[in-house]
């Protein structure tokens, strides 16, 4: 049997305004999706539980959408099996979720039942101290990230004109109008995802997802901050033609788009923020050539200075996120000896049997 395809995304982001969530767009219970919301403490097996289910689904030939943790991309926060319309999600802070209509559209999975609560209570002072220090590192990282928007190209008065933005929108609309019309309407099928996250490991990009969903990618110059304008015009025009879309916000500025994927057309449009797609067919859309070159040349030194200041801030913020992860790992290590993982995995096997049979 041919193995299913995996396509990872993020649904959360560490932003200048704190944690930003797209978890409310994970599934559509109105369209028949069923969501299991997993509750439990750190280190109690939530990620391992979901990984087991996802791997079994892939081995049985089912495609799986992985939702990676924005703090630690090696950990899972959710999985969705589209063919079965079943999803599992970590419903604990900072992305607290509840079933829309418990029992009908979703249900709780309480993995805390597999914890030795008496043993953990004895460790309460150490657990509370680790939680306090962990949250303090996140607070420090967010304080650093709050300064990042000040160093974006759009902050430079006189760099771009209304005519520049109009020219970018025209190019995007023209590109969308060359696409074939969708055979069926997909109104309401647009679900936002993050393709990238700023985490303890720095900037993580879901290149595997792009390779799985797209046969061709257009990389957009974004040195001047014009990609968002292009992508929003593209979304508007493509939606009119009936296409289902996956708009992907910028994880460091979620009010801006940095990518749009059109799975049915196997197309992707992605702002080039150091994207690595080695050996993958792509073309470049040179948005930086639209503004008057004489005018923009005067801003080159300032753009380089802004980029350096922004990168310095991101490096400091990453250090704090890495320290937060180390503290969270220590917190999980306190929990692990007091988790009945045999019970957790037995629960996972029960769900696997229901899913595949």
Is the residue at 60 inside a domain? yes
**How many angstroms separate the CA atoms of 136 and 320, rounded?**
9
- Looking at the structure, do residues 76 and 175 belong to the same domain, yes or no? no
Phi-psi region of 198 (alpha: psi -120 to 50; beta: other; left: phi over 0): beta
The secondary element (H helix, E strand) that includes residue 175 is helix 162-177
- Looking at the structure, do residues 18 and 103 belong to the same domain, yes or no? yes
- Looking at the structure, do residues 213 and 273 belong to the same domain, yes or no? yes
Check residue 37 and give its pLDDT: 97
Q: How many residues does the chain have?
A: 357
Mean pLDDT of 168-181: 91
Check residue 187 and give its pLDDT: 47
pLDDT-derived band of residue 74, with 50, 70 and 90 as boundaries? Answer: very high
- Looking at the structure, do residues 175 and 288 belong to the same domain, yes or no? yes
Mean pLDDT of 178-192: 72
Mean pLDDT of 306-332: 95
- Looking at the structure, do residues 255 and 163 belong to the same domain, yes or no? yes
- Looking at the structure, do residues 172 and 282 belong to the same domain, yes or no? yes
Asked if residues 320 and 133 have their Cβ atoms less than 8 Å apart, the reply is no
Mean pLDDT of 254-263: 96
44 or 189: whose pLDDT is higher? 44
pLDDT-derived band of residue 190, with 50, 70 and 90 as boundaries? Answer: confident
**Could you tell me the residue range of the domain that residue 190 belongs to?**
157-297
pLDDT digits (tens, 9 = 90+) for 263-309: 989 999 999 987 878 778 789 999 999 998 888 888 999 999 999 99
Check residue 336 and give its pLDDT: 95
pLDDT-derived band of residue 188, with 50, 70 and 90 as boundaries? Answer: very low
- pLDDT for residue 257 is more than 50: yes
Q: Count the domains in the chain.
A: 2
pLDDT digits (tens, 9 = 90+) for 25-69: 999 988 899 999 999 999 999 999 999 999 999 999 999 999 999
The SS3 call for residue 247 is strand
- Looking at the structure, do residues 65 and 171 belong to the same domain, yes or no? no
Residues forming a β-bridge with 89: 37, 78
Percent pLDDT > 90 in the chain is: 80
Is the residue at 172 inside a domain? yes
- pLDDT for residue 185 is more than 60: no
Check residue 70 and give its pLDDT: 95
pLDDT digits (tens, 9 = 90+) for 84-140: 999 999 999 899 889 989 999 999 999 999 999 999 999 999 999 999 999 999 999
**How many angstroms separate the CA atoms of 14 and 317, rounded?**
10
- Looking at the structure, do residues 292 and 163 belong to the same domain, yes or no? yes
Whether the model pTM is above 0.85: yes
Is the residue at 189 inside a domain? yes
CA angle 196, 198, 199 (to 5 degrees): 120
Residue whose tokens read 């929108």:
169
Is the residue at 208 inside a domain? yes
Average model confidence (pLDDT) across the chain:
93
- Looking at the structure, do residues 172 and 98 belong to the same domain, yes or no? no
- Looking at the structure, do residues 166 and 277 belong to the same domain, yes or no? yes
């Amino acid at each position: 049997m041919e193995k299913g395809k995996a396509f990872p995304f993020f649904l959360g982001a560490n932003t200048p305004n704190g944690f930003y969530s797209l978890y409310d767009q994970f599934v559509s219970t109105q369209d028949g999706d069923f969501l299991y919301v997993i509750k439990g403490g750190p280190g109690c097996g939530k990620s391992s539980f979901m990984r087991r289910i996802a791997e079994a689904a892939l081995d049985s030939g089912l495609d799986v959408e992985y939702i990676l943790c924005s703090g630690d991309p090696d950990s899972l926060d959710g999985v969705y099996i589209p063919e079965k319309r079943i999803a599992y999600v970590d419903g604990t802070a900072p992305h607290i979720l509840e079933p829309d209509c418990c029992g009908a559209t979703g249900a709780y999975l309480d993995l805390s039942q597999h914890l030795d609560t008496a043993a953990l209570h004895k460790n309460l002072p150490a657990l509370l101290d680790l939680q306090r220090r962990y949250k303090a590192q996140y607070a420090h990282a967010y304080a650093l990230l709050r300064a990042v928007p000040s160093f974006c190209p759009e902050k430079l008065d006189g760099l771009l004109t209304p005519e520049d933005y109009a020219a970018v929108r025209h190019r995007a609309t023209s590109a969308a109008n060359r696409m074939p019309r969708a055979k069926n309407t997909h109104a309401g099928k647009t679900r936002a995802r993050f393709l990238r996250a700023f985490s303890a490991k720095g900037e993580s990009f879901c290149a595997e997802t792009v390779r799985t969903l797209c046969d061709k990618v257009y990389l957009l110059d974004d040195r001047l901050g014009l990609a968002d304008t292009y992508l929003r015009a593209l979304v508007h025009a493509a939606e009119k033609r009936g296409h289902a879309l996956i708009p992907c916000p910028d994880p460091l500025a979620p009010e801006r788009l940095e990518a749009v994927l059109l799975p049915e057309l196997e197309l992707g449009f992605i702002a080039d923020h150091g994207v690595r797609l080695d050996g993958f067919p792509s073309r470049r859309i040179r948005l930086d050539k639209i503004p008057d070159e004489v005018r923009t040349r005067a801003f080159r030194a300032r753009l380089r200075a802004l980029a350096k200041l922004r990168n310095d801030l991101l490096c400091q913020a990453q250090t704090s996120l890495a320290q937060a992860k180390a503290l969270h790992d220590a917190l999980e290590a306190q929990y692990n000896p007091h988790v009945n993982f045999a019970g957790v995995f037995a629960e996972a096997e029960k769900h696997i049997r229901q899913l595949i049979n």
